[in-house]
């Protein structure tokens, strides 16, 4: 990947099929014509989409490299006026895609592993003063070896930038993006933005992984206004999955604490038994292939794409 990082900005490349889209623009698979290496290119022409892509590129370029953060390989404006941001290719797609392919939800053993790696990514961001602001399964990517990386930093904010401009803080908060059903109460009330906002979103993401549904039981795309008002001004938290372990329930209660000042940090949560107690999780934080005694709860027939088959203490990942 390092050789590609040095050459992708100025290389000749060919655009492949669209692999995603959003309010910012489109995402296409791309190939470096001189090396055959794969990457993805995010493109936007103008408006908020271009601003979001610019923000994402700035945030990622300023960060020290991390195995838990997707890598930006460069930016370039094409002749048509599109801003192109070249990004590392993650073959497994988003956790939302993975969940859909494996029956709609993920086994708790896998949720524990993924949650630990998300926490590692959040710890890295927070140590650099950055709040992701839009953590959810769609914005967490899976590599072909099972490694997890945080992605989609178009809404990310530097806390020091907000604090250094106290007069503009309210306006800055009004510009905070994100997905309402995953956002913390204090953010929806336009009161504050801190690292705890990502921890609340992490709790919502764990629920999403465990159930295959958005938090608060609202289907994404429907009118969420009633739930948004409940999140912002009520005294409730999302419904915890009934099938999750006691450790999982305790972990969720620490993430989904309505008082932002009482939420644990990412570093503190890395010591929680939900992600650290069993050796099978603590010894393999970067690769789902190292999970021992995995129980395949889904039949391989009828599921397209990647399939899992056990071999001893390993999970073999094959492309179907």
Helices (H), 149-278: 159-164, 169-174, 185-188, 196-211, 225-233, 246-255, 266-269, 273-276
Report the catalytic residues.
Answer: 134
Distances (CA, A) of 231 to 28, 176, 185, 208, 250: 35, 17, 5, 16, 20
- Alpha-carbon gap, residue 129 to 127, rounded angstroms: 5
Locate 161 and state its tokens: 């930038």
Q: What angle do CA 61, 151, 78 make, to 5 degrees?
A: 60
Q: How far is CA 254 from the centre of its chain?
A: 19
Q: For residues 278 and 96, is the Cβ–Cβ distance under 8 A?
A: no
- Rounded distance, CA 211 to CA 200, Å? 17
Could you tell me which of 34, 29, 26, 35 has the C-alpha nearest to residue 16?
29
Distance CA 251, CA 271 (A): 11
CA 104/CA 285 separation, integer angstroms: 23
As given in the structure block, the two tokens for residue 166 are 């106290």
Contact 15, 30 (CB under 8 A): yes
Distance CA 207, CA 204 (A): 5
């Amino acid at each position: 990947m390092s050789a590609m990082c040095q050459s992708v900005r100025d290389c000749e490349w060919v655009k492949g099929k669209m692999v995603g889209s959003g309010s910012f623009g489109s995402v296409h698979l791309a190939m470096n014509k001189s090396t055959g290496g794969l990457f993805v290119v995010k493109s936007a022409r103008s408006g908020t989409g271009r601003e979001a892509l610019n923000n994402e590129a700035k945030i990622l370029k300023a960060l020290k490299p991390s195995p838990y953060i997707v890598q930006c390989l460069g930016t370039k404006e094409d002749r048509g006026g599109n801003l192109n941001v070249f990004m590392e290719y993650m073959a497994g797609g988003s956790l939302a895609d993975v969940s859909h392919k494996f029956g709609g939800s993920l086994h708790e053993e896998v949720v524990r592993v993924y949650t630990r790696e998300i926490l590692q990514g959040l710890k890295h961001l927070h140590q650099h003063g950055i709040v992701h602001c839009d953590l959810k399964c769609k914005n967490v990517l899976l590599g072909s070896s099972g490694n997890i990386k945080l992605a989609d930093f178009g809404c990310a904010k530097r806390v020091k930038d907000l604090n250094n401009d106290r007069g503009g803080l309210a306006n800055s908060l009004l510009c905070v993006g994100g997905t309402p059903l995953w956002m913390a109460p204090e953010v929806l009330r336009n009161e504050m933005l801190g690292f705890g906002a990502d921890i609340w979103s992490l709790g919502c993401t764990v629920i999403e992984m465990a159930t295959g549904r958005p938090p608060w039981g609202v289907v994404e795309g429907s009118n969420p206004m009633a739930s948004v008002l409940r999140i912002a001004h009520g005294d409730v938290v999302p419904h915890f999955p009934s099938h999750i372990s006691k450790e999982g329930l305790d972990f969720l209660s620490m993430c989904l604490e309505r008082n932002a000042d009482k939420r644990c940090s990412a570093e503190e949560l890395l010591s929680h038994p939900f992600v650290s107690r069993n050796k099978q999780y603590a010894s393999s934080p970067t690769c789902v292939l190292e999970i021992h005694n995995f129980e395949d709860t889904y039949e391989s027939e009828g599921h397209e794409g990647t399939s899992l088959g056990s071999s001893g203490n390993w999970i073999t990942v094959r492309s179907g």
